[in-house]
């Protein structure tokens, strides 16, 4: 497909989304995110052949939140290798992203690295033997290298805002520690985790940052092919929490969402796709972002199935 045809499709999707009646609701449990204007929508595609096509509010920076869990997982696997799986599982949870109930049944080993409990363990692994500042520098450095763009930062206000209201995440971290599955103090791990979640990117930057998961020649190569496959497998099965099955059914692509309203989806070998719309559905995934992904995947005949 020509660049002009792709651009026309993205523009048409933006027009349809902007006419939507139901925009969902912004995350309100993090006060800084509750202030984000609801009616925003953006989509961007970085094809394997190079370049990036974007439409809508594609240059507005937003909080990537749980989309950061992919980058953190790639780094933690690079440091710990398969040992990481002793501490965190690889099964869909079927529960909300911030749920605590399974953690007791599973003896403190979170179901997967994309729910909060699992991501806290992943960040704890990245923190091993160093200060939060250094761990965050590696995470930010990884994201910038993936996007080939140094103009990406952490929004400290968002991180502080979450820290002041992060009682559930503190509960998860203390619970993990009680099961001996947290090496560092909960305050240190969560301070790092909240800052990692508070990385801001535009939709265009996020599509570019996702290229390392596409697995095609000429794209930034930050992890091995075998690891790319595994990261994509986890995104497909666990990337949208208890909405993962529904997302696979509707969109058919591995993806990771965040409560800031971003979703990063991968078309293996072909493209990295990012959407942003801060209104969420009941699972905490972008409502219009999911609709747009579904439309684009169908139009482009993109699916892993």
| 116 part of the interface to ligand GLN, by CB under 6 A | yes
User: Does 138 count as an annotated binding residue?
Assistant: no
Q: Which residue is nearest to ligand GLN (CB)?
A: 66
* Structure token digits, residue 50: 């190079």
How many residues are present in the chain?
305
Q: Which of 125, 162, 242, 281 binds ligand GLN (CB under 6 A)?
A: 162
| Beta carbon of residue 193, minimum distance to ligand GLN (angstroms, whole number) | 7
User: Does 86 count as an annotated binding residue?
Assistant: no
| Catalytic residue ranges | 66, 69, 193, 241, 259
User: Does 170 count as an annotated binding residue?
Assistant: no
| 33 part of the interface to ligand GLN, by CB under 6 A | no
| Beta carbon of residue 140, minimum distance to ligand GLN (angstroms, whole number) | 16
**Of residues 47 and 239, the one with the C-beta less far from ligand GLN:** 239
| Beta carbon of residue 149, minimum distance to ligand GLN (angstroms, whole number) | 22
Q: Is the dihedral of CA 214, 159, 203, 42 positive or negative?
A: positive
| 40 part of the interface to ligand GLN, by CB under 6 A | no
Q: Which of 43, 52, 58, 66 binds ligand GLN (CB under 6 A)?
A: 66
The answer to whether 176 and 111 have CB atoms below 8 angstroms apart is no
* Structure token digits, residue 219: 């794209």
The answer to whether 197 and 162 have CB atoms below 8 angstroms apart is yes
User: Does 291 count as an annotated binding residue?
Assistant: no
Q: Which of 99, 161, 169, 192 binds ligand GLN (CB under 6 A)?
A: 169
| Beta carbon of residue 255, minimum distance to ligand GLN (angstroms, whole number) | 13
Residue 136 has φ and ψ, to the nearest 5°, of -65, -35
Number of residues in contact with ligand GLN under rule CB under 6 A: 11
| Beta carbon of residue 128, minimum distance to ligand GLN (angstroms, whole number) | 21
Helices (H), the chain: 3-18, 31-34, 68-80, 101-105, 116-127, 132-147, 156-165, 167-178, 186-197, 203-209, 225-238, 244-250, 287-300
Going by C-alpha positions, the residue among 161, 170, 243 that lies closest to residue 197 is: 161
Q: Which of 47, 61, 191, 284 binds ligand GLN (CB under 6 A)?
A: 284
User: Rounded to the nearest 5 degrees, what angle is found at the Cα of 62, between the Cα atoms of 69 and 149?
Assistant: 75
Cα separations in angstroms, 69 against 74, 208, 255, 257: 9, 16, 11, 9
- What's the rounded Cα separation, in Å, for the pair 295 and 242? 21
- What's the rounded Cα separation, in Å, for the pair 20 and 212? 32
Q: Which of 43, 54, 65, 195 binds ligand GLN (CB under 6 A)?
A: 65
User: Does 116 count as an annotated binding residue?
Assistant: yes
Site for ligand GLN in 238-277 (CB under 6 A): 258-259
- What's the rounded Cα separation, in Å, for the pair 146 and 23? 30
| 160 part of the interface to ligand GLN, by CB under 6 A | no
What distance lies between CA 147 and its chain's CA centroid?
14
| 121 part of the interface to ligand GLN, by CB under 6 A | no
| 197 part of the interface to ligand GLN, by CB under 6 A | yes
- Residues forming contacts to ligand GLN in the complex (CB under 6 A) are 65-66, 97-98, 116, 162, 169, 197, 258-259, 284
């Amino acid at each position: 497909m020509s660049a002009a045809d792709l651009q026309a499709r993205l523009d048409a999707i933006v027009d349809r989304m902007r006419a939507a009646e139901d925009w969902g609701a912004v995350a309100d449990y993090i006060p800084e995110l509750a202030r984000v204007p609801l009616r925003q929508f953006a989509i961007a595609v970085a094809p394997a052949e190079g370049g990036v096509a974007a439409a809508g509010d594609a240059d507005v920076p937003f909080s990537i939140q749980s989309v950061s869990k992919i980058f953190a997982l790639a780094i933690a696997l690079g440091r710990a290798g398969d040992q990481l799986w002793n501490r965190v599982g690889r099964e869909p949870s079927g529960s909300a992203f911030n749920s605590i109930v399974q953690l007791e049944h599973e003896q403190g080993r979170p179901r997967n690295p994309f729910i909060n409990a699992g991501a806290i363990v992943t960040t704890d692994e990245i923190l091993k033997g160093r200060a939060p500042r250094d761990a965050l520098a590696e995470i930010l450095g990884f994201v910038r290298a993936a996007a080939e763009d140094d103009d990406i930062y952490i929004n400290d206000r968002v991180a502080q805002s979450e820290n002041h209201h992060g009682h559930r995440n503190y509960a998860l971290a203390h619970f993990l520690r009680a099961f001996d599955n947290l090496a560092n103090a909960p305050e240190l791990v969560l301070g790092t985790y909240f800052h990692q979640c508070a990385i801001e990117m535009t939709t265009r930057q996020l599509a570019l940052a996702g290229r390392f998961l596409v697995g095609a020649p000429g794209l930034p190569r930050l992890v091995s092919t075998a690891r790319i496959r595994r990261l994509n497998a986890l995104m497909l099965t666990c990337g949208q929490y208890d909405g993962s099955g529904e997302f696979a059914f509707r969109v058919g692509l591995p993806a990771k969402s965040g409560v800031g309203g971003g979703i990063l989806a991968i078309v293996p070998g072909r493209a990295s796709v990012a959407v942003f719309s801060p209104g969420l559905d009941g699972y905490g995934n972008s409502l219009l972002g999911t609709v747009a992904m579904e439309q684009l995947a169908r139009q482009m005949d993109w699916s892993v199935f």
